[in-house]
Amino acid sequence: MNWTAIWSQSAAPSFAMGMLQGKKKTIVFTVISHISGETVRMRFSNIYGKKPYKIGALAVWLNGKKYDITVGGNTSFSIPTGGYTYSDPTAIPVSAGAELEIRLYYVSKAQDSNMTIEEAAAYPGDHTMDEVLPQIQKESYKVQYNLYDAVVSLDRVEVQSEESSKVIVAFGDSITAMNRWVKPLNKRLLGAFEGRYTLLNAGIGGNCLTYTVPGFMGSSYGEKGIARFERDVLSFDNLHAVIIALGVNDVAYYTKKTASIISFETYKDATTSIVTQLRNRGVRVIAQTLTPRTGYMDKGYTSEMEALRIRINEWIRSCNLFDDVFDADELLRDENNPACIKNTLHQGDYLHPNAAGGEQMAQAYDLTALTGEEQ
């Protein structure tokens, strides 16, 4: 029997240099399993927290039935600092395509955080036992700025199955973390290969490949990709392929002051290092070109930054370093103004694909090139 991740996310420090999240709230979200199994376990992260945090209750709702998840046999438990904690294996009959509703009630605040589930909802109080969840009103500022609730501290959901799936990891920034192309692409993989592959999301909003962003906001953007790569990608068992989708934020921090850290050469060297590590493990590598960002917070995005983005994309297309190149830039850009994303394909900010843009990306992926297996 093998443990296979059906959902994961990469941890980053919570918003605004350590602001803690979650206290006295229940986060609710759903995960669709691409495989069948009889047992489920979950993993919690506390790699950034300075003290333990407490979970008051954790439940999985499936087909109208509630299953309690425990740690050390307890339904209420603490997560120590400095690493990861697995729950006890719990008997839950999961079939391929089943939708698991996860409800996680935090007694105290946690620091490890990410925003990968747009449909996640935070409810005041403990609602893990409610047969019907109450109505909640999403805050107006979240609607205005396309924000949603983070799934704090939980970083993996796994199902035990007789045959493990081959893991594909999408390694990116907010364009990846928002799941608008990852989720529909995972659905295509499920339909085409019946659970032989699972696509996991290792995106962090604001993340760069070669640069750890300093300052008040920077901590929540995570460690630079080259530093977190081993933890967030190489740590998966049965790793089969990686989609490298980092760099659009690097170019936005390119200035005379950062030129020794952010440049074409540093991007090329970092990417080549990652590819070498993956090749040594027999892992396929797909590179995704950097999408347009002209118009996003227009002030400060210079012609030098755009020139760097174009140069990196030219190298990605021509270097023959990868098993395949997915040209997201060509797919999403406005043919009449190629420095900008097409108006109908972004969420209103000229950077992040909307649902239509994400779906278009997912449908454009060549599944044979991605997996190396004919459909």
Please give the sequence-ordered ranges of beta strands (E in DSSP) within the chain, or none if there are none: 2-8, 12-13, 25-32, 37-45, 53-62, 65-68, 77-79, 84-86, 90-94, 99-106, 112-113, 121-124, 154-161, 166-172, 197-201, 239-245, 284-288, 324-326, 333-334, 337-341
**Token couple for 176:** 């990846």
CB 355 within 8 A of CB 180: yes
Tens-digit pLDDT profile for residues 6-44: 999 999 888 654 455 778 899 999 999 999 999 999 999
Whether residues 135 and 270 share a domain: the answer is no
Tens-digit pLDDT profile for residues 257-292: 999 999 999 999 999 999 999 999 999 999 999 999
Q: Is 35 left (phi over 0), alpha (psi -120 to 50) or beta?
A: beta
- The 3-class SS string of 316-328 reads HHHCCCCCEEECH
**Token couple for 85:** 């904690």
Whether residues 138 and 216 share a domain: the answer is no
* Domain end marker among 124, 158, 192: 158
Which pLDDT score is estimated for 32? 93
Q: What percent of the chain has pLDDT over 90?
A: 77
Query: CA 249, CA 235: separation in Å to the nearest integer?
Result: 24
* Domain end marker among 158, 182, 198: 158
- Tell me the residue range of the domain where 278 lies: 165-371
CB 356 within 8 A of CB 344: yes
Tens-digit pLDDT profile for residues 125-178: 999 998 888 887 766 656 666 666 788 899 999 999 888 899 999 999 999 999
Contacts of 88 (CB under 8 A, 6+ apart): 41, 69, 70, 71, 72, 73
Whether residues 13 and 144 share a domain: the answer is yes
Q: Which residues pair with 358 in a beta bridge?
A: none
Number of H helices, E strands in the chain: 12, 20
The CATH number for 137's domain is 2.60.120
What is the dihedral sign for C-alpha 110, 113, 115, 116?
negative
What SS3 class is residue 176?
helix
Whether residues 74 and 107 share a domain: the answer is yes
Which pLDDT score is estimated for 17? 46
What SS3 class is residue 255?
coil
Whether residues 141 and 169 share a domain: the answer is no
Domain count, the chain: 2
Whether residues 254 and 310 share a domain: the answer is yes
If one counts every other C-beta atom within 10 angstroms of the C-beta of residue 259, the result is 12
Query: CA 345, CA 352: separation in Å to the nearest integer?
Result: 8
Among candidates 268, 271, 339, 245, which has minimal Cα distance to 301? 339
Tens-digit pLDDT profile for residues 300-345: 899 999 999 999 999 999 999 999 999 999 999 999 999 999 999 9
pTM: 0.94
What SS3 class is residue 73?
coil
Whether residues 236 and 296 share a domain: the answer is yes
Tens-digit pLDDT profile for residues 192-239: 999 999 999 999 999 999 999 998 778 889 999 999 999 999 999 999
Whether residues 182 and 141 share a domain: the answer is no
